[in-house]
Amino acid sequence: MKRKYSIITSMLTLAVVLFFSGCKKDEEPKVDLAAAKKEWVTGSWKQKDIQLGVSTSVNTPLGKIKLTEGMSMLDDPTINALLTAAAGANPFVYTRNNKYDFNGDGNYKVDGVVDFGGGAKILAGGSGTWDTEVYSSVLALFPEKDKRDPHWINDITAARLNLAISVKLPGLGDVPMKLILEK
């Protein structure tokens, strides 16, 4: 009788072990982050702002004026006054409603102002091809076959894309800025 209980106990223990060892935890599928970020970028985006990318100071006849990172190139009264005095108008205000379309086939198009005149322009131009690079932290735009315009992705969500760009301004060179886009 004792042996019978021992065999039954052993069989029950074995059944429990086999039951729990047969249960596998569902493994989450591995996500290709590069493909996911490309999917996030794909679509139509509207420009909401262009902001100064770094803090700096500008010498004027009235003295030194401090400009801080994040000041709006579209709406800040100080920047508007400086650009109007230097160029006759603030060229960035004309980009306010620019629309950026990044197609899934790797082509992009910018509807709106990309050339400010007098040599000031956004390198990306009006159209070209795009891809993500450097572990998907760069949105690379190719307006022509041998031209590359890198846009560092500062932040991306389903509805907002914050890019670090460089805008060439005559007399100043390449100025770092933030391009804020929204879906």
What gap in Å lies between CA 39 and CA 50, rounded to an integer?
24
pTM: 0.77
Residue ranges and CATH numbers for the domains of the chain are 33-182 (2.40.128)
The tens place of each residue's pLDDT in the chain, 183 residues long, gives 555 556 676 666 666 666 666 656 666 667 777 788 889 999 999 999 999 999 988 888 888 999 999 999 999 999 999 888 887 888 888 888 999 999 999 999 999 887 766 666 666 778 999 999 988 899 999 999 889 989 999 999 889 999 999 887 766 678 899 999 999
